[in-house]
Chains A and B, each alone.
Chain A
């Protein structure tokens, strides 16, 4: 039986307990730093922060319903090469899955990082989070949010991000420790469960009281996932319908200004430089004229549909559905809806679930001699 300990809701609530746990981790010397969202600047957005001094944890808000960016790229940056010290990172399930994909692509390493995954109720979009917090203290707002979500009666008046509402992976996979928020009475304590031998070792000697997984957790998850799946299916259907033609797709993308923020925000778009930013797409004046003449008119900037279709080919198999693309879009293009819908097809086709296992190679990085026979046509013989 894996070790489970209690993160007590001390006088400051469960967040204080989390801070205490992370402080003990730092004090134990087992890690040199922890990555956790911190309200560094008053009431602003809690940003992932590399904390090395337990003092710096006072405004840490590891369960905040804010998701300004997918932390996978940050953790990848922290683990590409050696710092000489191990770190712990508090991550959402979609961040962990994206990180696993990046590790497969040699963009980071599991060796020097302990992943503390949290059960994820979802988060607000970047514009909605401040609306949700309002005048309240953000830490108190987090507690309110968790409370309401635990009761299954969200009454925030603001919806969580669409990506979160359709996320069927609210439980962290591949973490060393799991903060088992689901089903817990967070006014009392949250169970912290070891999910790997490394996590097990990390817990020993921290002086945390022994606990157990909340018996209600499984049922909570089942209900939540069912709800999310229903949302997801609805979203697929809507997206498929509205983009079922090239014109539909173009309409869906009509507000796109080729800023490429979606790919900058995308945790699995790992290229240093997107090919669409290279000279390959620096067209000559006469080329624009040629295209315009061929079609009669030409939308500018060009290559919008081309960019999105190519990006689907490049990363849809690795899409973890975190929704940061939509979060980052300045013009409100529903990028996440589009990419998740495509990803569902491409991932199923290769029987690939991003983030499921480090042992699964990205679909286009491998091949077999005897596969996908139906993909090959035999046109000469009328087939």
Chain B
């Protein structure tokens, strides 16, 4: 049976039709080989648009369909499904892009139309070679892994666990809570951070469906959507979690002091430590690099004082393997180390603090017991808060960190509240971005509390006569300013985790230019990634405040749950296939396959694809000189015909005029 192709050219309102003469393109397509109907329509993705295809499949007996509209990354599935509803195998449809790659980027209408013509012609050429392909359904393992147990990871894990699915929650630190556990108050409501996060942390510990794996890291991921095998490295804690009661005696007696990362190096912890008395789990961990017993074999005090015998200096790391259906990445962010911006004096002047350090000064269990005191033990009489340190700065990060304006306002209020109304607070800002619910109201309130706002990025912080002076320009007044203060707080940028690249590689996700993990689509797929079954939650995708991180996390959890609840998933049939009649058994493809998806059949002496493991990358097909290995849907004949179409097989190259006289939108014969 010959091919009967239907071609559908979408106007996308004026998005395509504004630059491409869609009627002309449809008319041109109608004259191409095997095309029996060609139409243009306002919105092909709409119900009437899809129905048009379905109707034509029936009326004209179409066995191939070409849709020219937006990027296939957006709507290929939409039109595949439409074809399926019309009774046509979805892989007999070719979706081509005349919007993102044509109408939106071409200046000249004639050129855009000519280009669209070629794109459509290539698809018509290619689709003739398409073959029916059938997706396979595979079961989705019910368990989910959540990586990172900050507020986003916690939220995702709780959402999933409460639906009845088991969650393995992996956290690289000794306890959960992430950065939120370091805060004292949250904007704009000024809730006590601990009061809202601690119950959630406890809920994690008490939730029977959550398998909490702290002090652990994911080191390997294999498999595919629905069937991931994840290897988790359980680092040696040296304290037996099952035996430890969290009494804390060891922490008191340990003689070794180490600067605490959790306290942002404002205080010491011991070599055996936990981040806070409220830590979940509250089992301490021994810092092997500093523990004298582990490094030198001398001490052993904690073991002696431990009432339950939980200390084990000989503990070793171990690997555990988990089988999960999907993964939620919630690995969070780091804050920028402002030492590199030497003009602001961090590291040189001890009264210059980072935002996270300032959080700890405010925290009731922090180094100052929640009082805002400088290193000399005195409260500051005046504070400068410098916004956008490393953010919105071409030299560091072009993006806005999205949280600094609001937490700076929170600091303004806290200083007024804790130090007293007489304390002077100066905000050096570029723009105030107070876009969230209740944020603008909070801004107004803080303004009314008598805080000073100076628009302009300061040039430097200097010390004069024992005082810090912030030197800058008030760009609204057009005046240079020199503001002497006791204390400076730097609103440092939120950055991708320093090991984000390693995490991206392990999980097979991409990073955007900013280094944060890349979502599938910036608007319509903000929690999915290009890797099926790996979802994002929270600030690993980009800077977020707590409400955004939590909602994003619930979104990621919902995606993971949708997979798990359905219980099975369709696997793309566009895998490789090795023709045993053609394969000579050279085994090169086996070495090139990144997924170990090719096995050698010793009896037949040919290579064989394991379709469950093949992801269709084409490493084998790209090598195989005989063409025995081919990717279904990217067969040589299909690509060749697409190339021919793009180069214009049917009509000589030439200018493409407007088809002003064409008014009909159907170029077709009578229905069959």
Residues of A within 8 A of B (CB): 80-81, 105-107, 270-275, 278-280, 286-287, 290-291, 293-294, 314-315, 361-362, 364-366
Q: Is A314 a contact of B625 with CB atoms below 8 Å?
A: yes
- Whether B625 contacts A272 by the Cβ 8 Å rule is no
Q: Closest chain A residue to B33 by CB distance? A: A286
Closest 9 CB pairs of A and B: A271-B626, A275-B627, A105-B586, A290-B649, A314-B625, A365-B588, A272-B584, A106-B587, A280-B636
CA distance A98 to B188 in the complex (A): 76
Known: A271-B625, A273-B626, A314-B625. A278 touches B582 (CB 8 A): yes
Q: Is the CB of A106 within 8 A of B636?
A: no
Question: B585 at interface (Cβ–Cβ under 8 A)?
Answer: yes
Shortest Cβ distance from residue A262 to the other chain B in the assembled complex, whole angstroms: 15
Q: Which of B626, B637, B640 is A272 in contact with, Cβ under 8 Å?
A: B626
Cβ–Cβ contact B623 & A365, under 8 A: yes
B588 touching A294, Cβ below 8 Å: no
Asked if B611 CB lies within 8 Å of chain A CBs, one says: no
A274 to chain B: which residues have CB within 8 Å? 626
**Residue contact B625 to A315, C-beta cutoff 8 Å:** yes
Query: Are the C-beta atoms of B584 and A275 separated by less than 8 Å?
Result: no
Knowing A275-B626, A290-B644 touch, does A270 contact B33 (C-beta < 8 A)? no
* Alpha-carbon distance A191/B661, docked complex (angstroms): 90
Sample of 22 A–B contacts (CB below 8 Å):
A106-B585, A107-B584, A271-B628, A273-B581, A273-B626, A273-B628, A274-B626, A275-B625, A275-B627, A275-B636, A278-B582, A280-B640, A287-B649, A290-B644, A290-B650, A294-B647, A294-B652, A361-B591, A364-B623, A365-B588, A365-B623, A366-B591
Specify which chain A residues have a CB less than 8 angstroms from the CB of B582 in the assembled complex: 271-273, 278
Q: B190: shortest Cβ distance to chain A, in Å?
A: 47
A291 vs B388: C-alpha distance in the bound complex, in angstroms? 60
Question: Which B residues touch A80, using CB under 8 A?
Answer: 605
Cα distance A286–B582 in the bound complex, in angstroms:
28
Query: Complex: how many Å from CA A280 to CA B638?
Result: 9
Is B306 among interface residues, defined by CB-CB distance under 8 A? no
Complex alpha-carbon distance, A365 and B592, angstroms: 7
Q: Please give the residue numbers on chain B whose beta carbons come within 8 Å of chain A beta carbons, in ascending order.
A: 33, 581-588, 591-592, 605, 623, 625-628, 636-637, 640, 644, 647-650, 652
With beta carbons under 8 angstroms apart, the residue of A81, A106, A291, A315 that contacts B586 is A106
Beyond A107-B585, A278-B582, list 18 extra A-B contacts (CB 8 Å).
A81-B605, A105-B586, A270-B584, A271-B582, A272-B583, A272-B626, A273-B582, A273-B626, A275-B627, A275-B636, A278-B626, A279-B637, A291-B649, A294-B647, A294-B648, A294-B652, A314-B625, A361-B591
| Bound Cα distance from A377 to B82, whole angstroms | 41
Most interface-central of A81, A294, A366 (chain B CB within 10 A) = A294
A167 to chain B, nearest CB (A): 25
CB-nearest residue of chain B to A367: B592
Inside 8 A of B652's CB, which chain A residues have their CB? 293-294
CA distance A272 to B604 in the complex (A): 14
> Are A280 and B588 within 8 A (Cβ)?
no
A residues within 8 A CB of B587?
Answer: 105-106
B640 CB → nearest A CB, Å? 7
Within the complex, what minimum Cβ distance (angstroms) separates B425 from chain A?
A: 44
How distant is B57 from chain A, measured CB to nearest CB, in Å?
24
Which of chain B's residues have a CB closer than 8 A to the CB of A105? 584, 586-588
Chain B residues with CB under 8 Å of A314's CB are: 625
Determine whether the beta carbon of A271 is less than 8 Å from that of B648.
no
Residue numbers in A under 8 Å from B584 (CB-CB): 105, 107, 270-272
CA gap between A123 and B586 in the complex, in Å: 31
Q: Is there an interface contact between B640 and A270, defined as CB atoms closer than 8 Å? A: no
Smallest beta-carbon distance A378→chain B, Å: 15
Question: A293 CA to B582 CA in the complex, in Å?
Answer: 34
Question: Would you give the shortest CB distance from B624 to chain A, in whole angstroms?
Answer: 9
Q: How far is the CA of A156 from the CA of B649 in the complex (A)?
A: 55
Q: State in angstroms the CA–CA spacing of A287 and B643 once bound together.
A: 13
Min Cβ gap B434→A in Å is 36
> Chain B's nearest CB lies how many Å from the CB of A325?
16
| Residues in A neighbouring B583, C-beta threshold 8 A | 272
In the assembly, what is the distance between CA of A271 and CA of B583, in Å?
Answer: 8
Q: Is the CB of B627 within 8 A of A278?
A: yes
CA distance A293 to B653 in the complex (A): 11
In whole angstroms, what is the CA distance A310 to B637 when docked?
15
Give the distance in Å from the alpha carbon of A291 to the alpha carbon of B650 in the complex. Answer: 9
Contacts of B640 in A (CB 8 A): 280
Contacts of B585 in A (CB 8 A): 106-107
With both beta carbons as reference points, the residue of chain A lying nearest to B638 in the complex is identified as A280
When chains A and B are docked, how far (Å) is the Cα of A299 from the Cα of B591?
A: 40
Chain B residue nearest to A366 in the complex (CB): B591
Are A287 and B586 interface neighbours, CB within 8 A?
no
Q: Give CA–CA (A294, B587) in the complex, Å.
A: 40
Complex Cα–Cα for A280 and B650 (A): 20
Please, how many angstroms separate the alpha-carbon atoms of A131 and B585 in the complex?
A: 41
Interfacial chain B residues near A364, Cβ < 8 Å: 588, 623
CA distance A274 to B582 in the complex (A): 9
How many whole Å from B578's CB to the nearest CB in chain A?
12
* CB closest residue in chain A, given B645: A290
Residue of A nearest to B653 (CB): A294
Q: Which residue of B lies closest to A80 (CB)?
A: B605
- Chain A residues with Cβ under 8 A from B637's Cβ? 279-280
Most buried by A among B587, B588, B644, B647: B588
Contacts of B626 in A (CB 8 A): 271-275, 278
In the complex, chain B residues whose CB is within 8 Å of the CB of A291? 649
Nearest-Cβ distance from residue B130 to partner chain A, whole angstroms: 15
A295–chain B nearest beta-carbon distance, Å: 10
B7 to chain A, nearest CB (A): 18
Cα(A364)–Cα(B586), bound, Å: 13
Interface centre among B586, B591, B649, B650 (most CB of A within 10 A): B586
A293 and chain B: residue at smallest CB distance? B652
- For B586, the chain A residues whose CB sits under 8 A away are 105-107, 270
What residues of chain B lie closer than 8 Å to A293, measured between beta carbons? 652
- Kindly list chain B residues whose C-beta atoms are within 8 Å of the C-beta of A286: 33
Chain B nearest CB, measured from A331 CB (Å):
24
Q: Considering the chains assembled together, what is the distance between the CA atoms of A106 and B588 in angstroms?
A: 9
Given the complex of chains A and B, what is the CA–CA distance between A365 and B593 in angstroms? 10
Q: Nearest chain A CB to B592's CB is how many angstroms away?
A: 7
A280 to B623, CA, bound (A): 16
With A270-B584, A279-B637 in contact, do A365 and B591 touch (Cβ < 8 Å)?
A: yes
Q: Give CA–CA (A365, B622) in the complex, Å.
A: 11
**Residue in chain B with minimal CB distance to A273:** B582
Instruction: Please name the residue on chain A nearest to B582 by beta carbon.
Output: A273
CA distance A315 to B588 in the complex (A): 14
Separation in Å of the A187 CB from the closest CB of chain B? Answer: 46
Which residues on A sit within 8 Å (CB–CB) of B628?
271-273
Q: Give the residue name and chain of the A residue nearest to B619 (CB).
A: A367
Residue of A nearest to B589 (CB): A365
Bound complex: CA A294 to CA B646 (Å): 13
Which residues of chain A come closer than 8 Å to B627, judged between CB atoms? 275, 278, 280
- Chain A residues lying within 8 Å of B623, measured Cβ to Cβ, are 364-365
CB distance from B403 to the nearest CB of A (A): 32
CA distance in complex: A190, B585 (Å): 40
Chain B residues with Cβ below 8 Å from A287 are: 644, 649
A107 contacts which chain B residues (CB < 8 A)?
A: 584-586
Inter-chain contacts of A294 with B (CB < 8 A): 647-649, 652
CB distance from A92 to the nearest CB of B (A): 24
Q: How far, in angstroms, from A365 to B623 measured CA to CA in the complex?
A: 8
Q: Which residues of B contact A315 (CB under 8 A)?
A: 625
B573, chain A: closest CB distance, angstroms: 21
Distance of B631 from chain A, by nearest CB (Å):
14
Separation of A81 and B582 alpha carbons in the complex (Å):
19
Q: Which B residues are in CB contact (< 8 Å) with A106? A: 585-587
Min CB distance, B643 to chain A, in Å? 12
Interface centre among B627, B648, B649 (most CB of A within 10 A): B627
Residues of A close to B591: CB separation below 8 A: 361, 365-366
Contacts of B650 in A (CB 8 A): 290
Closest-CB distance, B123 to chain A (whole angstroms): 16
User: Residue among A107, A291, A365 with the most chain B CB within 10 A?
Assistant: A365
